[in-house]
Amino acid sequence: MEDLAYIVEPLQSSVIREATHRLQFGMPSEVLVGTLLRALAASKPAGHFLELGTGTGLATAWLLSGMDSASTLTSVDTDAAVQAVARQALGNDDRLTLLLSDGLEYLKVQERQSFDLVFADAMPGKYEGLDDALAVVRIGGFYVVDDMLPQPNWPEEHAAKIPLLMEQLAHRPDFVTLPLVWSSGVVMAVRKG
């Protein structure tokens, strides 16, 4: 079976991908990561989801495509230009709140265990403020990061951060962690009861 042969992408994906290319934004989420996010969102009816790092909104579109009508998604980014692509393509969806804010500042004011899924697709919540990101995950909820395998567009210091993150996640007694050597490299952690 080919990984991509049977995947139906969200309707807005092609528009977002074209705008991503025009902006020369080099960190869009991969299709396989999107399929995982869609499936995880579908597993949480009336779920409350958080994306740290909207980018141009590709992962946002995947999350929305898995969510039911009672679910909500908050997506946070500091770059207005790239988030504008997501706002234009996805902004009419009532389930979505796009915030132009620092992810760490946002995390610090959230109630503990208030999200069913946190997708940390930016430095905040992944390499900075990990404890704050994990604190907002509900019991049975997911913490997901990608880009854990070498990527050609990584900043120079990125590779050195991965072992520390993996070590921290592996030793969290309140989470079960699953590293997936797949797509861009994904780590999923689930909060235990």
Angle, helices 80-90 vs 58-66, to 10°: value is 30
Residue 54 and residue 75 in contact, taking contact as beta carbons nearer than 8 Å: yes
Q: How confident is the model at residue 2 (pLDDT cuts 50, 70, 90)?
A: low
What is the CATH number that goes with domain 13-191? 3.40.50.150
Reported as a single tens digit per residue, the pLDDT across 102-158 is 999 999 999 999 999 999 999 999 999 999 999 999 999 999 999 999 888 777 888
Helices 58-66 + 31-42 axis angle, to 10: 30
Is the entire prediction scored with pTM above 0.85?
A: yes
57, 90 in Cβ contact below 8 A?
yes
